[in-house]
Structure 1
Amino acid sequence: MCRVELSKAYRLLNHGPTVLISSSYNGKQNIMAAAWACALDFDPPKITVVIDKSAYTRELIEASGTFAINVPCVAQIDIARKVGTTSGRDLVDTDKFALYGLETFPATEIDAPLLKDCVAWLECKLIPEPHNQNTYDLFIAEVVAAHADERVFSNGHWHFEGHDKVEYDKLRTIHHIAGGAFFATGIALKSSV
Structure 2
Amino acid sequence: MKINGNEIKPGNVLQHQDTLWAVVKVEHVKPGKGGAFAQVEMKNLLDGRKLNERFRSEDKVERVRLEQKDFQYLYTQEDMLIFMDTETYEQLELQKDFVGDRSAFLQDGMMVTVELHEDRPIGITLPQYVTLQIAEADAVVKGQTQSSSYKPAIMENGVRVMVPPFITAGEKIIVDTGTLEYVRRAD
TM-score category, normalised to shorter length: under 0.3
Using the size of structure 1 for normalisation, the TM-score is: 0.23
Report which of the two has the higher share of helix: 1
Larger Rg: 2
Report which of the two has the higher share of strand: 2
